[in-house]
Amino acid sequence: MTKVKVAIIGSGNIGTDLMIKIIRHSEHLEMCAMVGIDPNSDGLARAKRMGFITTAKGITGLIVMPEWENIKIIFDATSAKAHHYNWGIIEKYPDKRIIDLTPAAIGPFLIPTVNFDESPNVRNVNMVTCGGQATIPMVAAINQVAKVHYGEIVASIASKSAGPGTRANIDEFTETTAQAIEQVGGADKGKALIILNPAEPPVVMRDTVFTLSEQADREKIRASIHKMVEEVQKYVPGYTLHQEVQFDDIPADKPVFIEGLGHRHGLKTTVLLQVVGAAHYLPAYAGKLDIMTSAAMTTGDKLVALNKD
C-alpha cells in the first residue's frame, strides 16, 4: 500500500511524539521531513538519526527541498502565532493540506469522534487543544441526549509535559477550547481552564467536564458518555473515566447565573477523565501529548483513506 508523505513543522515535544507515532502506528502516512528552528533540538536530532530529511530554517527551509513536491500533508506543531505565518506560505500550494495542532484556529475545529465528516475537503483543519480533544467528546455525547446550555472544562496537566509552545499558548488554549465547546460540543456557552501542575512525581492528565443541560434520562446520558469514551479509546487507549458520571439537579427555583446566558436550571453532569500517555516520547504522565498527537495522526489517516475511497 502506497503511503502519503508527510512533514512535521515543530521539533518540540508534540512534534517529536507525533513523528514516533506515525513511524510506529500510521496506516496511511509516511514520515518524510522534520522541520524546526532550533538546530540543537532533540526532535531534529532524532529525525536525522532515523534517516528523515531535516531543516532548522522553518517552513522556508522545507519548501526549497526537492522532497517538498511529494509531501502532501503537513502537521503544524509550533505555536498559534507561527501557524499564521506557516499557513500563509502553505496555502499557496493547492496540493498540500495542513493539520494544525496549535490553537490558531484558522481552519475549522476537528474532533475525530465528533465531526470528522464535516471537514473532509478542508485544506486546513484545527485540532483545537489537548484539553479540547479530551473533553469536547464528552460535551457532544451529553448534547446528543439533552441540549447543553453550558459546558465548562478544566484540564490539569503535569508541568513537565508542557513545553515552550504550550506555555506560549495559554491564552489561545482557553479561547480556542471555549469556542470549540460551543461549535463542536454543541453548548450554548463554553468555558475552559488549564492548570499546569508542578507536583513531583508528575501527575497524569486529568480533565473535568461540567455541563448544564435540559433534563433528560440519566441512563441515556451515561450510556452516550460511555459509548463516546470507547470511540476515543480506539486511538487513545489510555483515555478513561476516572470516576463514574455524576448528576445533580439545578431546580427552577434555585437557578445558576451563567454570564452571557442569564439564569438557567436543569441537569448538571460531571465527567471526570484521565488520560495516560503511551510514552512514545515523554513518560506516560504526558497524556496531553498522547491525545493531541493521536487525534492528529488519526485525522491524517482518515483523510487519506477517504480520498483513496
Q: Which residues are known catalytic residues?
A: 130
Q: Are 189 and 258 contacting, i.e. CB atoms less than 8 angstroms apart? A: yes
Q: What is the DSSP string of 74-123?
A: EEE-S-HHHHHHHHHHHTT-TT-EEEE-STT--S-B--HHHHGGG-TT-S
Helix (H) or strand (E) holding 16: helix 13-25
Q: Residue 76 corresponds to which cell in the numbers above?
A: 503544524
* Residue 223: strand pairing partners: none
How far is residue 242's CA from residue 244's CA, in Å, rounded to a whole number? 7
Spatial CB neighbours of 142, under 8 Å, sequence gap ≥ 6: 148, 211, 213, 221, 224, 225, 269
Instruction: State CA 258 to chain mean position distance.
Output: 26
Backbone angles phi, psi at 264, to 5 degrees: -140, 150
How far is residue 213's CA from residue 215's CA, in Å, rounded to a whole number? 6
- Of the candidates 73, 25, 23, 31, the one whose C-alpha atom is nearest the C-alpha of residue 235 is 25
The shares of helix, strand and coil residues in the chain, as percent rounded to the nearest 5, are 40, 25, 35
Report cis status (omega within 30 of 0) of the bond before 201: yes
Q: Are 125 and 119 contacting, i.e. CB atoms less than 8 angstroms apart? A: yes
How far is residue 135's CA from residue 127's CA, in Å, rounded to a whole number? 13
